[in-house]
Amino acid sequence: MKALSRYSMSVRRTLLMVLLPGLMLVVVGELWLSWRTAHDAANAAFDRSLLGAIKSLDSNISTASGGLGVELPYRMLEFFELTANGRVYYRVSTEDGLVDIGSTDLPAATSHLVTGQPQFNDAVYYAEPVRVGSYARLLDPPLAGSTGPQRVVIQIAETLESRQSFTQALVLQSLARDILLTVVATTLLVLAMGWALRPLARLRREVLSRGERDLTPISTGGIPADVGPLVEAINFHIARNRQQTESHRRFVDDASHQLRTPLATLATQVGFAVREKDPIEQGKALAAIKLQLDETVRQTNQMLSLARTDSTEIAPEPVNLTDLAQKVTRQWWSEARAKGVDLGLEPGDERLFVMAQPAILTEALVNLLHNAIRYTPKGGFVTVQLAKLKHQATLTVVDTGPGIPAAELARAGERFFRGSNVNLPGTGLGLAIVKSITERHGGEFRLGAGPSDIGLCATMTLPLCDGAGVRTDL
């Protein structure tokens, strides 16, 4: 439910909820970096001043009398204390601690002092944070009585008021800058999102203004590239709905057109049979009614089959085309024998698998065999042939019937189209059903003359797959 509520929010609100916390984290990180930079800059600047004070004090140290003498530069220390905006402490001592002048308890350097190299460190002196500068050099000459080289250690410490004020000022400037940039960035983000989402608002108005029967594709002009796939998916859905609607409309039109005549004929025949007093003539009328009724039932069933083929969702699975062809052909042997037609099967040398819905594919082959046996004269031949052509399987039904004139082959497979050379009653839907089933399975349906231009050759070409359902042409 939380995920649903999150995705039900507007894009603008979602982006702001994601980006604003991110901006805040960036600001916090930038403030931390600014504080570190300001702290390091303050230490670098004030440490140079501290080193200057150490050098000034060092220049007033003398050992000419044999002892350690320090002439304190009071004026310099006062000026330094004023500049530091706090208290200043100093200490001058020999490294062995025999001589110690100034604040003798000033914290020592945190690590070993290298001669001639200053060292700076933070410490606490009288419960107050201080910055301590330490410097060591050799005494020349050394103190009287010294047997070897001797070093003097000079330390000056200052409280941190000036440093903290300097750091605070830099951080506050950085904070003001970051707040301004955040406000500007948020404003630009809101304006940019509003501008970027304008095509979606236009798309919404366009869809809402459409009529309930308007199933034309949505124009992709002026649509952002990111929204393009969504519009294409909607157009694909619209196309499917339009195809479904067109199929239903076509079925209603076909049914009203094709059933009107047979029903009118049946009404006339029934009226004639009711008025007829002669039992023989009445029997003939009833036989004609039965024939007409059978043809009407067959025509209705074919129209329903075609409508179901056009609208049913295909759920393909691996189908052994060889086994399917053998099964259907056996079922039609008795029908073929009753008509005196030789029905045969040429399964080929290997088993062929295709991705198809078995019931619908069976219906296609049944229609082909029904047409072939029905129109083939007594003593003729109907052959079901299976073959492999590269990555495709072909299922062909060849007969020795009247065929279809060459000039009319291009129209064969259209709804209600029948060749001009046949005189048996029919609907012209059998081949249309086969064509629709083949194309919905990703195949191709072709019609041509049989061997030696005798009869008809109807071929269904379907993509091959292996036994696990993986197409071999991919």
32-44 average pLDDT score: 88
Q: Which backbone phi and psi does 356 adopt, to 5 degrees? A: -160, 170
From 417, 413, 388, 405, select the one nearest 449 (Cα to Cα).
405
What number of other Cβ atoms are within 10 A of residue 446's Cβ? 16
Q: pTM for the whole thing?
A: 0.48
* Closest to 397 (Cα-Cα) out of 446, 358, 444: 446
The per-residue pLDDT for range 337-361, each reduced to its tens digit, is 999 999 999 988 788 899 888 888 8
The whole-number pLDDT of residue 117 equals 92
CB 204 within 8 A of CB 218: no
**Given this model, what pLDDT does residue 121 score?**
93
pLDDT band at 325 (very low <50, low <70, confident <90, very high): very high
Nearest CA among 355, 359, 351, 354 for reference residue 326: 351
What's the average model confidence in pLDDT over 129-143?
88
Please name the residues in contact with 241: beta carbons below 8 A apart, sequence gap of 6 or more.
215
Q: Residue 239 has what pLDDT?
A: 81
Work out the average pLDDT over 253-262.
61
CA distance 430 to 406: 19
> How many Cβ atoms are within 10 Å of 363's Cβ, its own excluded?
18
13-167: CATH class:
alpha beta
Parallel, antiparallel, or unpaired for β 381-389 and 342-346? parallel
- What's the CATH code, domain 317-463? 3.30.565.10
319 vs 302: which has the higher pLDDT:
319
Taking only the tens place, the pLDDT of each residue in 74-126 is 666 666 666 667 788 888 888 877 788 888 889 988 888 899 899 999 999 98
Cβ contact 81:145 at 8 Å: no
More reliable by pLDDT, 16 or 252: 16
- Mean of per-residue pLDDT scores for the chain: 81
The stretch 409-419 carries a mean pLDDT of 70
Give the rounded percent of residues in the chain with a pLDDT score beyond 90.
15
- List the beta bridge partners of residue 343: 382
